[in-house]
Structure 1
Amino acid sequence: MKITTLFVAITSLVLALTVGNLVVADSHAESAKPSESLATDVNTTQVSTQTGGVETPENVIGDPQQTADPAPEKLDQASIVPQSDEDKAKGVEVWGNIYKVLSHPRCVNCHVEDDRPRWSGKQYGKTQLHGMYVHATATRVGMPGQQMCSTCHAKTNSDVPHGPPGAEVWALAPPEMVWWGKSSDELCAIVKDPAKTGGRDITAFADHIGHDPLVAWGWEPGIGREPAPFSADETVAMLEQWLALGLPCPE
């Protein structure tokens, strides 16, 4: 009788402990659910914060048209005029120095209407057509398979006095940019016409003068050649000053 009573007591104790453990385990599982949900919410918040709170894929990627830098506006040069007689007189004076650069042999020898570069300047005595019967053709660099600029003109100047000058790209100027033989007033009108400067307004033209490697050669033409007057930086500054004075041309 005592043994039976003891057995029943032990069995009841084991059952009670088992049920208690199950209740505790279930309670822990239930208490863990809010934490998991909270972690998910935190992660979502972090992603939302990193993308600026925008959820749609299109907006996350972004619209290139909204972020692209706008194209620089070109000057309306036709509306630019001197504000006073003093500005006009000073502007014409500034243009006179610009003309000394643009009409120099280092520039105009390759700004010709035909396809024959010129040899002119103090070292030549008199103007000549380019030797070796060079024709630049419509390509402005020579006929493929025949005499081309790059046949003799390397990327740097020759070390020999009066040897072939060099630049990164050697070529005649485009046919519409004819400067050879132009008077000061004629060349002034040409420079003010974007259709005759490769689509460049004065600001873009000044940038061309200041940064084009072939233009830069005019101030470092090699042994035995006279460089263009002033400097690239000074010429750019003169163009900017001329613009500020209203772009007047000599009459």
Structure 2
Amino acid sequence: MKIKASLIVVTTLGCLLLAGSMVWANTETTATETSTEVVSETNAVAVETIDQSSIVPKTEADKTKGVEVWSDIYKVLSHPRCVNCHVPDDRPRWSGKHYGKTQVHGMNVQATATRMGKPGEQMCTTCHAKTNSDVPHGPPGAEVWALAPVEMIWWDKSSKELCAIVKDPSKTGGRDISSFAEHISHDALVAWGWNPGLGREPAPFSAEKTVAMLEQWLALGLPCPE
């Protein structure tokens, strides 16, 4: 236990020192270009107006079952592995069973408009690599590490509120429910939620199960809780 604790301290101090004194080999312009490039990939889906208002439950039984299915989808989308990065500001959250009380990300992390951190100062990649740290509670990692786009605000939303958001393509990057499910099934950063590294609780179910639930919810008419 002492060895693990030491590793955690060393890892954390290493990130703090790196964030405070890092010297980029390239200029700030290069960092900005990199940030813009990755954010562009995150928002690659063009925002379109996709009318889903005509999709309604055919029967009361479908509505009841649909709301039940949505409740399980909500357990996934409202889990800390998801909502910690779907925030209304540029401050990622630290929340979940292993954190105790909810707090903003340490080390004065500010994602800014890039959703990745201040160019040349505290980019997310200062501590977040492409894979998870081997140290319990060490910095998690994925191929691209960034906050969700600003229109995808899920933090602190009720089941009813988040249901309406997911059904609104202007708040899901132009995706209808089928495209949203496809996004969940293929996006590497989304997949991280079920493989968050040592010491973290993964999101419930699985990517495959979540996709299946979204498809079932669509077939039942996309009802939301009242």
Give the structure-1-normalised TM-score: 0.70
2:141 pairs with 1:166: yes
1:118 to 83, 93, 101: 93
Q: Which residue of 2 aligns with 1:187?
A: 162
Q: Which residue of 2 aligns with 1:148?
A: 123
Q: Deviations over 1:95-138 (max 9, x none)?
A: 00000000000000000000000000000000010000000001
Report SS of the residue matched to 2:117: coil
Q: Which residue of 1 aligns with 2:199?
A: 224
2:208 pairs with 1:245: no
- CA distance in 1 between partners of 2:49 and 2:186 (Å): 19
Q: Between the two structures, name the one with larger relative contact order (CA 8 Å, sep ≥ 6).
A: 2
Count of aligned positions:
179
1:177 to 152, 163, 174: 152
Would the aligned equivalents of 2:131 and 2:140 in 1 still touch at CA under 8 Å? yes
Q: Which residue of 2 aligns with 1:234?
A: 209
Q: Which residue of 2 aligns with 1:95?
A: 70
**Aligned positions of 1:47-62 closer than 5 A:** none
Q: For the aligned residues, what is the CA RMSD?
A: 1.2
Q: Which residue of 2 aligns with 1:138?
A: 113
After the TM superposition, which segments of 4 or more aligned residues of structure 1 sit over 3 Å from their partners?
73-76
2:181 pairs with 1:211: no
Would the aligned equivalents of 2:57 and 2:222 in 1 still touch at CA under 8 Å? yes
Report SS of the residue matched to 1:136: coil
Report SS of the residue matched to 1:95: helix
- CA distance in 2 between partners of 1:173 and 1:180 (Å): 11
- CA distance in 2 between partners of 1:144 and 1:93 (Å): 44
Q: Deviations over 1:186-211 (max 9, x none)?
A: 00000000000011000000001111
- CA distance in 1 between partners of 2:79 and 2:71 (Å): 12
Report the CA distance shift for 1:74/1:112 in structure 2 as closer, same or farther (over 3 A): closer
Would the aligned equivalents of 1:74 and 1:201 in 2 still touch at CA under 8 Å? no
**Aligned positions of 1:8-87 closer than 5 A:** 76-87=51-62
Query: Gaps (5+ residues) in structure 1?
Result: 1-72
2:103 pairs with 1:128: yes
What percent identity do the matched residue pairs reach?
Answer: 82
Q: Deviations over 1:75-111 (max 9, x none)?
A: 6311100000000000000000000000000000000
Report the CA distance shift for 1:200/1:126 in structure 2 as closer, same or farther (over 3 A): same
Would the aligned equivalents of 1:152 and 1:164 in 2 still touch at CA under 8 Å? yes
Higher helix share: 1
- CA distance in 2 between partners of 1:164 and 1:74 (Å): 38
Give the structure-2-normalised TM-score: 0.78
What is the CA-CA distance between 1:225 and the residue it aligns to? 0.1
